[in-house]
C-alpha cells in the first residue's frame, strides 16, 4: 500500500467517524480510527488537508510532545460543505450511491480505498469550481 492509498483509508475513517458523531463537542484521537499504528503518520496531515479543503473544521490540535501519533483533534466536525459533499449522489460500478455510503464501505473494507481519492479529488474540485463561478 503506497502513501496515497494509506491517506485515502485514513480520510475515509475520519469522515465516517465525523459523519456518525454529527455536530458535537468532542475530541478525535488516532486510536479511534481502529487501524494499524503504521497509519498514524497520515492522521494529522489528513485532518489538516480536510480542513484546508473546507470539508471539516476543528478548534485545535493538541499533540503530545515526543510522539508523532499521540494527541487529539479538539472539536472536529463536518462543515456544511462537508455534509454537502458526503450527501452528493454518485455512480460507482453502475450503482447509484452517496459519497457517505461509499466512504462507509471503504471504512468497513467492502470497497477499495482508492475510491476515496477519486471521490474527494473529483467532487471537491467540481464543487470548488461551481462555487467559485
The overall longest dimension of the chain from CA atoms, in Å, is 48
Report residue 8 CA to chain centroid gap.
8
Q: At what angle do helices 3-21 and 40-52 cross, to 10 degrees?
A: 70
Distances 96 to 43, 90, 99 between C-alpha atoms, Å: 30, 6, 10
- Specify the pLDDT at position 116: 59
Pairing of strands 95-98, 89-92: antiparallel
- Specify the pLDDT at position 65: 74
pTM metric for this prediction? 0.76
Residues 6 or more apart from 88 whose CB is under 8 A from it? 98, 99, 123
Mean pLDDT of 95-101: 79
What domains, with CATH codes, occur in the chain?
A: 3-125 (1.10.10)
- Specify the pLDDT at position 32: 94
Q: How confident is the model at residue 27 (pLDDT cuts 50, 70, 90)?
A: very high
Amino acid at each position: 500500500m503506497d502513501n496515497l492509498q494509506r491517506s485515502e483509508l485514513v480520510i475515509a475513517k475520519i469522515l465516517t467517524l465525523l459523519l456518525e458523531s454529527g455536530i458535537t463537542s468532542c475530541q478525535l484521537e488516532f486510536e479511534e480510527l481502529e487501524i494499524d499504528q503504521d497509519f498514524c503518520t497520515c492522521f494529522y496531515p489528513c485532518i489538516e488537508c480536510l480542513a484546508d479543503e473546507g470539508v471539516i473544521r476543528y478548534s485545535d490540535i493538541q499533540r503530545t510532545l515526543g510522539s508523532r501519533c499521540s494527541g487529539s483533534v479538539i472539536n472536529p466536525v463536518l462543515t456544511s460543505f462537508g455534509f454537502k459533499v458526503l450527501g452528493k449522489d454518485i455512480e460507482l460500478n453502475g450503482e447509484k450511491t452517496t459519497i457517505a455510503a461509499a466512504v462507509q464501505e471503504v471504512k468497513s473494507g467492502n470497497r477499495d480505498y482508492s475510491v476515496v481519492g477519486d471521490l474527494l479529488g473529483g467532487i471537491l474540485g467540481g464543487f470548488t469550481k461551481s462555487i467559485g463561478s
